[in-house]
Amino acid sequence: MKRGLPGTLVLVLSLAVLAALVLLPMWLVGSSSFKLPREIISRFPTFFPHSFTLQHYQKLLGTSAFPTYFVNSTLVAACSAFVTVVLATLAGYAFFRLEFRGRDFLYRLIMVAYAFPSIVILIPIYLMFAKVGLIDTDLALVVVNVTFALPFSIWMMRTFFASLPRELEEAAAIDGASRLATALYILVPLLRPGIAAIAIFAFVSSWTEYLFASVLIISDAKRTLPVGLSGIIGQYQIDWGLLLAGASLSILPVVIFFGFVGRWFVAGLTEGAVK
């Protein structure tokens, strides 16, 4: 369908608003992290920095525990993403390629788990983990993050399995390939976009998780970025330069990661959203 001039104008204008809404705050945070403190809080914000300094980054990386938080978060998020991918792929194969009793019931149960209020299990999880000695460990966070990422990931998996023609597997079976070989050499490579989508979903969920990380981790050396950064907010009496540098460095890895696999994620989301 052709767009007239008014239509084009409306589209361009809406796109500009949308871009401003999403990108402008990010740009301001990133560019301001290089500004001198007095420019950061100047009455009329500068779109392009007039001053340039690395002092906020030096302070952040040199004197705060930020690097430790960063490493902890990366480790926890990477492990959570890996475990989620493995478990969601196993479950995906079972749910969408095998016939067994109770399949639909179990699948629905997993969907309920997705909407489960996390605050309800916070207290029991805390008490349970205290009993088995998991408090203050990275493992505790990985377990919790996988739990929250798994239901949605299995749900997304359905789309990716549905997009694979069954004939491929049947042909492989006729050729004498075992089920394991078929799965490893035929399905997994074809599922790569799906695996990327699930990995980024799990990574991002873990990277941004605050509630459980704040309760299950006690020692400062084990804190993740969200909890560590929130501690810095209170610790230094609102040092905006430091916080903006911290915010910029917390966004950077997910932005880079997302740059590589983001399109798979969006494809998975748009296709998985509706039956």
Choose one: 48-56, 58-66, 188-196, 242-250; the region binding other proteins (CB under 8 A): 242-250
Handedness of CA 160, 162, 164, 166 (dihedral sign): positive
Q: Does 71 bind other proteins (CB under 8 A)?
A: no
Q: Which of 9, 20, 103, 184 binds other proteins (CB under 8 A)?
A: 103
* Smallest gap from residue 188 Cβ to other proteins (A): 14
Question: Rule CB under 8 A: is residue 64 a binding residue for other proteins?
Answer: no
98 binds other proteins (CB under 8 A): yes
The closest of 266, 232, 264 to 250, measured between CA atoms, is 232
Question: How far apart are alpha carbons 132 and 130 in whole angstroms?
Answer: 6
Q: Is 192 in the site for other proteins (CB under 8 A)?
A: no
> Angle, to 10 degrees, between the axis of helix 66-97 and the axis of helix 55-63?
80
Site for other proteins in 121-140 (CB under 8 A): 121-128, 130-131
Binds other proteins by CB under 8 A, chosen from 60, 144, 156, 216: 144
Distance CA 272, CA 20 (A): 28
Q: Among 60, 134, 141, 154, which residue sits at the site for other proteins (rule: CB under 8 A)?
A: 154
Cβ 200 vs Cβ 262: under 8 Å: yes
Is 34 a binding residue for other proteins by CB under 8 A? The answer is no
Tell me how far apart the alpha carbons of residues 67 and 73 are, in angstroms, rounded to a whole number: 10
